[in-house]
């Protein structure tokens, strides 16, 4: 299994189309870190659409510029959905802001969880829904 370490997170693939992102304790995320993280995900997914399971149970800080940059449509064009696992109030505040921003992009849905398994199951369902949708489009439009 390939693992990519960035300054702020560890990246690996859980399933064919599920990217696991484990945030590092006390990570400080600004625009360069957003870019580094984006490139790590792109390398592991090979540019194919994927669901992202983000383990955000550790304390991180995200600058306003990083939040704005990460919400750009080009940063999420290959993402089916984000499932974020959080447990602290500080993480919830950051994640709530990001959820509002990301959910304005109708191509990507983001949901918060306190349970890792529930997040993974939801994400697998979202990936499965997209795959089913693609198959039915192929049948309808040969």
- Mean pLDDT is highest, among 12-16, 128-132, 135-139, for 12-16
Domain boundaries, the chain: 3-140
Of 3.20.20.105, 3.30.750.24, 3.40.50.970, 3.90.950.10, which CATH number belongs to 3-140? 3.30.750.24
Please give the model's pTM, rounded to 2 decimal places: 0.84
pLDDT, tens digit, for every residue of 63-94? Answer: 989 888 887 888 888 999 999 998 866 555 66
Task: Give the CA distances from residue 98 to residues 12, 40, 59, 64, 81, in Å, rounded to whole numbers and listed in that order.
Answer: 22, 20, 15, 11, 13
pLDDT computed for residue 99 by the predictor: 57
pLDDT, tens digit, for every residue of 23-32? Answer: 999 999 999 9
The closest alpha carbon to 50, from 80, 90, 11, belongs to: 80
The closest alpha carbon to 104, from 50, 67, 53, 57, belongs to: 67
Q: What's the rounded mean pLDDT across residues 17-39?
A: 96
Report percent pLDDT > 70 for the chain: 79
Q: Which of 12-26, 40-54, 105-119 has the lowest mean pLDDT?
A: 105-119
pLDDT, tens digit, for every residue of 92-105? Answer: 566 555 555 555 55
């Amino acid at each position: 299994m390939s693992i990519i370490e960035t300054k702020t997170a560890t990246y690996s693939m859980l399933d064919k189309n599920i990217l696991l992102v484990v945030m590092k304790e006390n990570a400080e995320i600004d625009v360069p870190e957003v870019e580094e993280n984006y490139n790590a995900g792109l390398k592991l997914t090979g540019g194919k659409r994927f669901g992202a399971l983000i383990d955000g149970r550790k304390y991180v800080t995200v600058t306003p510029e990083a939040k704005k940059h990460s919400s750009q449509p080009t940063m999420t064009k290959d993402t089916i959905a984000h499932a974020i696992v959080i447990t602290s109030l500080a993480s919830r505040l950051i994640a709530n802001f990001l959820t509002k921003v990301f959910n304005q992009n109708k191509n990507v849905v983001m949901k918060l969880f306190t349970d890792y398994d529930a997040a993974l199951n939801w994400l697998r369902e979202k990936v499965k829904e997209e795959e089913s949708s693609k198959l039915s489009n192929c049948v309808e439009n040969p």
